[in-house]
């Protein structure tokens, strides 16, 4: 999966293997081995790749998509589902009044609470519609 994902990300930016090798400070052949699956980058180059493509290392390695968001000046990673819920919640700014301390933990708590509230609300709507 990693080799295909890496190649796809590179092609999406219309870059050559040589461009990527230059970015990482390695030879084109060494980079080519990443895309062919013959070798894997070290952690430093994984970080460079993740930062360059604005994805998480988890996404590069196993396809788990995470989105970066900045809350109270801190960058946090949210899964795709958490990110969608977070975007929906942003419509209600009152939810975000106390995020200055531990923003990642508080955002994830808010997401869980929001999903429970939304599920209960939707169930209530279905019950009302059935009556």
- pLDDT at site 87: 82
What's the rounded Cα separation, in Å, for the pair 11 and 35?
12
**pLDDT tens sequence across 63-112:** 777 777 887 788 888 877 788 888 887 777 666 666 666 777 778 888 88
2, 40 contact by CB (below 8 A):
yes
72, 99 contact by CB (below 8 A):
yes
* Same domain as 91, residue 70: yes
* Same domain as 47, residue 70: no
Domain extent for 87 = 66-130
How many domains, the chain?
A: 2
Select from 62, 85, 105 the last residue of a domain.
62
* Same domain as 79, residue 57: no
Q: Of 53, 30, 56, whose CA–CA distance to 41 is shortest?
A: 30
What's the rounded Cα separation, in Å, for the pair 124 and 129?
9
* Same domain as 73, residue 89: yes
- pLDDT at site 49: 96
What's the rounded Cα separation, in Å, for the pair 20 and 68?
23
pLDDT band at 123 (very low <50, low <70, confident <90, very high): confident
Select from 36, 62, 88 the last residue of a domain.
62
108, 82 contact by CB (below 8 A):
yes
- pLDDT at site 98: 67
In this structure, what is the dihedral angle of CA atoms 72, 73, 75, 80, given to the nearest 10 degrees? 40
**pLDDT tens sequence across 5-59:** 999 999 999 999 999 999 999 999 999 999 999 999 999 999 999 999 888 888 8
72, 103 contact by CB (below 8 A):
yes
- pLDDT at site 100: 65
Q: Of 115, 60, 105, whose CA–CA distance to 84 is shortest?
A: 115
């Amino acid at each position: 999966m990693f080799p295909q994902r890496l190649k796809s990300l590179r092609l999406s930016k219309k870059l050559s293997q040589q461009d990527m090798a230059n970015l990482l400070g390695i030879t084109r052949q060494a980079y080519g081995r990443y895309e062919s699956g013959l070798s894997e980058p070290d952690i430093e180059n994984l970080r460079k790749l993740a930062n360059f493509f604005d994805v998480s290392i988890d996404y590069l390695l196993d396809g788990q998509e995470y989105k970066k968001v900045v809350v109270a000046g801190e960058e946090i990673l949210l899964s795709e589902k958490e990110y969608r819920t977070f975007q929906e919640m942003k419509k209600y700014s009152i939810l975000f009044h106390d995020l200055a301390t531990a923003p990642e933990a508080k955002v994830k708590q808010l997401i869980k609470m929001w999903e429970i509230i939304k599920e209960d609300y939707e169930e209530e709507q279905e019950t009302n519609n059935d009556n």
